[in-house]
Chains A and B, each alone.
Chain A
Amino acid sequence: MDNESGSSNGGHLTVEQAIANLQGEDLGLRVYAAWWLGRFRVDAPEALEVLIAALEDEADRTEAGGYPLRRNAARALGKLSDRRAVPPLIQSLECSDFYVREAAAQALEMLRDPAGIPALIALLKDEIPGTLPAPEPPYLPQPYDAILEALGTLGATAALPLISPFLDHPVPRTQYAAARALYQLTPDRQQANQYGDRLIQALSVDDLQLRRSALADLGAIGYLQAADAIAQTLAENSLKLISLKGLLEKQLQLTTPPDLSPGAIKVIDLMDSLL
């Protein structure tokens, strides 16, 4: 669950220690420090600098050739909401490590900066040389879920025709990511709703992981029509509440505080029943 109250002093580290650890010799401490700076949203300029530098780290390698520190640095940069991280993150989309590219795409989505769109499209088309596939089955060539979700959030309307074919991708999660992006990018509401409805259908599949994934997608797009289906699907209440929170926040954008739309009140009633 996200930490919105912004406590910055939990855990064992101080900001200075974390920044020092990130530049230190101990690889384990470096990875932990990168995670920690993101977790507590440390927005000191020095933190940004060392994390950007860590995107080019060569010291920390897995047996398969992955870059654990780079992955954590990219994830942390997504949480710091400083757009100076955008160009180096775009650069990271060219990394050979699948998971670095995935983390970079997610971070670019969180930073809400459309500058990343051309590189994300190139990656979706698998046109960036030197990018190795995922080290695990089904050995996807690119982190499609993260790329599709980022394109949707960043409003990459030009990518619509490239995204549609992913509705038929063999991996269901990737289909959902495509539906989510298409919902966000389709200007005609009625047409967009058919993509939202696909995600509602995903709430009744047999696989719990897939239902969880659909819950996250519906929360991200705030699709009000899904409210009852979200409350009823078989999954943890915590995840249903996060999903409904996405619907509620979307409704709040439609009225002036403290007015609540009928949709907002409906979502609130459902959330109350899940506490």
Chain B
Amino acid sequence: MPDTLQSLIQAVEAADSAKRLADAVQNLANAHLQGATPTLIAALGYNNPGAAVAAVDGLVQIGEPAVPLLLEQLDSHNYTARAWAIRALAGIGDPRGLVTLLGAATADFSLSVRRAAARGLGMMRWHWFPQDLLEIAQEEALDALLFVAQQDEEWVVRYSAVVGLQALAGAIALTHPDWLAQIRSQFEQMATNDASPAVRARVWRAQQLLEAGAARNPQPLDDKPSSLEETDWQTILQNLYARKSEERSVLSEGDPRRYRDLAAAISPQTLD
């Protein structure tokens, strides 16, 4: 229905107030049309939180076809738009977003970005990965999530890391009992020691689900196969290796993780 798409896009372009813009983006997002992708991505940069929330939801619904344009958006200088794009990537779980999410979960200034990235890291579309890449990708995700669960100063980001670890535990339970044991021991530690009651409660829930085997639901069966090409996988692998070698020079001068406390002190009230 190209007419519908056209008119929905026109409504976004014609919106003359913050409220109308948010509504128009919401309507466009609700239509679940792939052709809406560029308009929805543009809406991430309008400095209108209502529109951005709706656009992220819409992009997550569109899913994989939106990923290439989202990755382009990451190059933009608009920090807010970048943060929203990372949230959309986290929601989609496409392998091409993996390295971006690893960096965002562990080092982004914005807690809402770290929060979204941590959850996304546990819920990647692991069944899309070729076997040799799956191993290294999941190990990187595990390391990043354990780091966030132990180190992040915001309760909601640690909460999100627990959600991510629970999902990852489900995905690796049969293939990597050693990783599962690491996740369990991290949960045991947090179940009593985490400073936030809400985080402790989320850990108890994750433990219950793991015990019941309910988290062991590796992949959706009705999911479409990946359309990723050989070059995509090569890029992902290269980026992962680049990241691994960076990690060896542990938190060197200039690593953003060193400055997070400072950034938090400068803008303690920042939301989204």
- Is A236 among interface residues, defined by CB-CB distance under 8 A? yes
Q: Are A268's CB and B201's CB within 8 A?
A: yes
> Interface readout for B107-118 with A: 1 if CB under 8 Å, 0 if not?
000011001101
Is B103 on the interface with A (CB-CB < 8 A)? no
In the complex, which range does the number of interface residues on chain B fall in? 35 or more
Q: For the complex, is B181 an interface residue (Cβ under 8 Å from A)?
A: no
Min CB distance, B19 to chain A, in Å?
8
B153 with A268: CB separation less than 8 A: no
Does B82 sit at the interface, judged by CB under 8 A?
no
Q: Does B116 contact A265, Cβ atoms closer than 8 Å?
A: no
Judged by a CB distance under 8 angstroms, whether B213 is at the interface is no
Q: What's the tally of chain A residues with a CB closer than 8 Å to chain B?
A: 32
A29 to B: closest C-beta gap in Å = 15
Q: From the candidates A3, A9, A272, A275, name the one contacting B116 in the complex (CB within 8 A).
A: A275
Once the chains bind, are A252 and B115 in contact (CB under 8 Å)? Answer: no
Give the interface segment out of A20-28, A134-142, A256-264: A256-264
Across the interface, which residues of A come within 8 angstroms of B195, CB to CB? 4-6
Bitwise interface map of B from 2 to 24 toward A, beta carbon under 8 Å scored 1, else 0: 00000000000000000000100
Please determine whether A257 and B200 come into contact, CB atoms closer than 8 angstroms. yes
B197 at the interface (CB under 8 A from A): yes
Measured CA separation A113–B2 after assembly (Å):
64
A4 to B204, CA, bound (A): 19
Instruction: Say if the beta carbon of B207 comes within 8 Å of chain A.
Output: yes
Task: Determine whether A62 belongs to the interface, using a CB cutoff of 8 Å to chain B.
Answer: no
1/0 per residue, CB under 8 A from B, across A231-252: the answer is 0001011110110010011001
Partner of A249, one of B115, B153, B159, B198: B198
Contact of B50 among A234, A252, A257, A265 (CB under 8 A): A234
**B272 contacts A11, CB within 8 Å?**
no
B153 touches A260 (CB 8 A): no
**A10 at the B interface (CB under 8 A):** yes
Chain B residues in 8 Å Cβ range of A2 = 155
Q: B236 at the A/B interface (Cβ < 8 Å)?
A: no
Question: Do residues B153 and A236 form an inter-chain contact, with CB atoms below 8 A?
Answer: no
| Complex Cα gap A9–B258 (Å) | 13
A7 is contacted by which of B163, B198, B261 (Cβ under 8 Å)? B261
Q: Are A252 and B197 in contact (CB under 8 A)?
A: yes
- Distance between Cα atoms of A3 and B153 in the complex (Å): 7
A237 touches B272 (CB 8 A): yes
- In the complex, which of the residues A1, A6, A208, A257 contacts B156, with contact meaning CB atoms closer than 8 Å? A1
Q: Report A31 CB to chain B, min CB distance, Å.
A: 15
Q: Could you say which residues of chain A place their CB within 8 Å of the CB of B218? A: none
How distant is B116 from chain A, measured CB to nearest CB, in Å?
6
A208 CB contacts on chain B under 8 angstroms:
50
Contact (A275, B115) CB under 8 Å given A10-B262, A238-B272: yes
Chain A hits for B39, CB < 8 A: none
| Chain A CB within 8 A of B191 CB | yes
Once the chains bind, are B111 and A1 in contact (CB under 8 Å)?
yes
Q: In the complex, A6→B196 CA distance in Å? A: 11
Q: Flag if B153 contacts A7 (CB, 8 Å).
A: yes
B271 and A4 contacting across the interface, CB-CB below 8 Å: no
Q: Contacts A4-B196, A10-B265, A236-B272 given; indicate if A275 touches B163 (C-beta within 8 A).
A: yes
- Shortest 7 CB-CB distances between A and B: which pairs? A258-B204, A11-B265, A10-B261, A10-B265, A275-B119, A4-B195, A5-B153
Interface set of A (CB-CB < 8 Å, partner B): 1-7, 9-11, 39, 208, 234, 236-239, 241-242, 245, 248-249, 252, 257-258, 260, 264-265, 268, 271-272, 275
24 contacts between A and B (CB under 8 A): A1-B111, A3-B154, A3-B264, A4-B155, A5-B153, A5-B155, A10-B261, A10-B264, A11-B261, A11-B266, A236-B53, A236-B272, A237-B53, A239-B271, A245-B155, A248-B197, A248-B198, A257-B204, A258-B207, A260-B201, A260-B208, A264-B201, A268-B205, A275-B119
